[in-house]
């Protein structure tokens, strides 16, 4: 966040807190509510909004603690995600940051870039989430100059290449975009092709090959995107599955099957017949 400030990017006050004493000192200076974040987490797993010192101390202890071995094994077996295994075995504690709370709406950007230059970008407002601290399930496509400029400045400053995500808060009172997090990876919107300058795979392919690559056709004119399988699993009767663009990869039935099976706890959808029956009711819309 310090580099962002140096680039003139709007950011909330952020500090590393190493113990509860640091947390108490932060609270005296900044007050509540506040946001605590554990580095190296994703999908909202390592984020807590806290409103009192007692709540903040509990959240800090939970966020800083090494991941439980049972959780690491579950994620490795069911999600094929090995990221928690070594931190769990080595009892590695997370670095926790305290961040000033910005009242407003969440937004997110994903950019394709090469050698410090943005090639293409997607910008969204978060319309709905899995839960208060979880990943987005419904997004609204937007154009936001401040978000776009902030991403360009950070890509240039850090000389980034590849796919990188940027999370923002759009302040309710002013509409100002506050950069709150940078994710050095592809996020869940990278596959969406939304027209000229908004086709990230084509932009990266052209940069790598040195040849012109034609952007794919725009997948939808609808600005509301219901993400698969997140929104369908959150609520199979969600109106957004009908009114928005539901990005089900119909041409890849095996991928659909795997995506649904990974949510094995949702037993109502365990049989192939049941989820095929449910999907037949949700038509792909433009």
pLDDT of 266 higher than 50:
no
Count the neighbouring beta carbons within 10 Å of the beta carbon of residue 275: 21
pLDDT of 9 higher than 70:
yes
pLDDT recorded at residue 45: 72
- In DSSP notation, 177-216 reads EEEEEEESS--TTTT---STT--HHHHHHHHHHSS--PPP
CA distance 190 to 201: 8
Handedness of CA 117, 120, 125, 130 (dihedral sign): negative
Torsion angle, alpha carbons of 112, 170, 179, 241, to 10: -40
Q: What is the CA radius of gyration of the chain?
A: 20
DSSP element (H, E) containing 117: strand 117-129
Q: Which residue segments constitute the domains of the chain, with CATH numbers given?
A: 12-100 (3.30.1490.20), 104-209 (3.30.470.20), 224-280 (no CATH)
pLDDT recorded at residue 68: 72
Between residues 256 and 151, which one has the greater pLDDT?
A: 151
For the chain, the average pLDDT equals 87
pLDDT of 217 higher than 50:
yes
Q: Which 3 state secondary structure label does DSSP give 123? A: strand
pLDDT of 183 higher than 70:
yes
Tell me the mean pLDDT in the region 238-255. Answer: 95
DSSP element (H, E) containing 89: helix 85-89
CA distance 91 to 61: 14
pLDDT recorded at residue 182: 94
Between residues 267 and 73, which one has the greater pLDDT?
A: 73
pLDDT of 189 higher than 60:
yes
Tell me the mean pLDDT in the region 22-37. Answer: 95
Question: Do 56 and 34 touch, CB atoms closer than 8 A?
Answer: yes
pLDDT recorded at residue 260: 80
Q: Which two tokens stand for residue 103?
A: 């009242």
Name the band, by pLDDT with cuts 50, 70 and 90, for residue 132. confident
pLDDT of 107 higher than 70:
yes
Phi/psi region, residue 37 (left: phi>0; alpha: psi -120 to 50; beta: rest), is: beta
pLDDT of 87 higher than 90:
no
Question: Tens of pLDDT along 218-237?
Answer: 999 999 999 999 999 899 99
Question: Do 189 and 123 touch, CB atoms closer than 8 A?
Answer: no
CA distances from residue 176 to 12, 95, 104, 146, 170 in whole angstroms, order as listed: 11, 28, 9, 8, 5
Handedness of CA 25, 30, 34, 37 (dihedral sign): negative
Q: Which two tokens stand for residue 250?
A: 């119909």
State percent of the chain over pLDDT 70. Answer: 84
For the chain, how many residues are written? 286
Fill in the DSSP letter of residue 32: S
pLDDT recorded at residue 119: 97
Residues β-bridged to residue 66: none
Instruction: Quote the distance between the C-alpha of residue 137 and its chain's center.
Output: 10
pLDDT recorded at residue 78: 66
Q: Which two tokens stand for residue 260?
A: 């649904």
- In DSSP notation, 54-75 reads HHHHHHHHHHHSPPPHHHHHHH
Tell me which of 107-121, 128-142, 195-209 is least confident: 128-142
Tell me the mean pLDDT in the region 31-49. Answer: 84
């Amino acid at each position: 966040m310090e580099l962002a400030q140096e680039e003139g990017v709007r950011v909330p006050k952020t500090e590393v807190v190493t113990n509860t004493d640091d947390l108490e000192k932060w609270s005296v200076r900044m007050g509540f509510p506040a946001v605590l974040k554990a580095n190296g987490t994703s999908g909202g797993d390592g984020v807590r909004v806290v409103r009192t010192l007692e709540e903040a101390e509990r959240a800090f202890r939970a966020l800083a603690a090494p991941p439980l071995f049972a959780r690491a094994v579950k994620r490795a077996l069911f999600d094929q995600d090995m990221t928690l295994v070594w931190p769990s075995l080595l009892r590695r504690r997370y670095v926790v940051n305290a961040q000033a709370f910005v009242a407003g709406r969440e937004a997110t950007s994903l950019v394709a870039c090469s050698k410090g230059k943005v090639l293409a970008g997607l910008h969204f407002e978060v319309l709905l989430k899995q839960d208060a601290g979880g990943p987005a399930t419904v997004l609204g496509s937007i154009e936001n100059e401040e978000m776009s400029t902030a991403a360009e400045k950070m890509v240039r400053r850090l000389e980034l290449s590849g796919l990188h995500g940027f999370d923002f808060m759009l302040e309710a009172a002013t509409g100002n975009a506050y950069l709150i997090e940078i994710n050095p990876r592809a996020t869940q919107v990278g596959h969406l092709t939304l027209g000229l300058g908004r086709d990230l795979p084509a932009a990266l392919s052209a940069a790598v090959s040195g040849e012109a690559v034609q952007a794919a056709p725009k997948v939808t004119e609808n600005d509301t995107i219901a993400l698969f399988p997140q929104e369908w699993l959150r609520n199979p009767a969600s109106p957004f599955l009908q009114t928005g663009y539901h990005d089900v990869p119909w041409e890849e039935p095996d991928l659909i099957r795997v995506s649904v099976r990974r949510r094995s706890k949702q037993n109502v959808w365990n049989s192939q017949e049941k989820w095929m029956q449910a999907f037949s009711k949700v038509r792909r819309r433009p």
